[in-house]
Amino acid sequence: MTRKEISLLLVGVMAVSIVGCATRLVDFTIISTKNIDLSRGADFKRGTTRIQGEDKVSIIIFIPTGTPNIKQAIDKAIQSVPGAVALLDGVVTSKGWYIPYIYGESSFVVEGTPLIDPKLTCTAQLPSNYIVSKLDKKGKVIETKYVTKDEFELTKKRIGTRKVVEKLG
């Protein structure tokens, strides 16, 4: 056999030995790992985009570094959206690939549309759209306070517009 044939044979053996698959485990209508007050269900909002969470472990040589966990994948997906309490109309998939005696990965992936509880989202209002900060000579913030628009304009005139860094709002 020539070198070219041996190289081609080795590449073929490597390509065949790489194993990977994805298995759809379950489709769900609603899934959550959190306690949900369903009596307030009418107040919940459906998210506009699908989200995904994944829990993954590595396989080094032939030894796994842990066990992937579906609960962790669900938690990661739910926590990626503020106020989310569950996932709707989704799927749980098991994925994995492995190059024998070298490296591989095994994971659970959860994908769905978030169900959002508006009471849990950040709805805090700022006291004002204007903030004034005092700095020391090194530029480190000493004090920060919210001010009215009139106080902001007065401060701006007093110190000059060169030093006014930012107006919020």
Closest CA to 94 of 24, 19, 18, 20: 24
Size (the chain), residues? 169
State the Cα–Cα distance between residues 67 and 57, nearest whole angstrom: 6
Cα diameter, the chain: 88
- What is the reported pTM? 0.63
> Other CB atoms closer than 10 Å to residue 50's CB: what's the count?
15
Could you report the per-residue pLDDT of 93-132, keeping only the tens digit for each? 999 998 888 999 999 999 999 999 988 876 555 667 788 7
Closest CA to 123 of 11, 68, 52, 45: 45
Could you report the per-residue pLDDT of 138-149, keeping only the tens digit for each? 877 777 788 888
State the Cα–Cα distance between residues 127 and 30, nearest whole angstrom: 38
Task: Tell me which H or E stretch contains 88.
Answer: strand 84-99
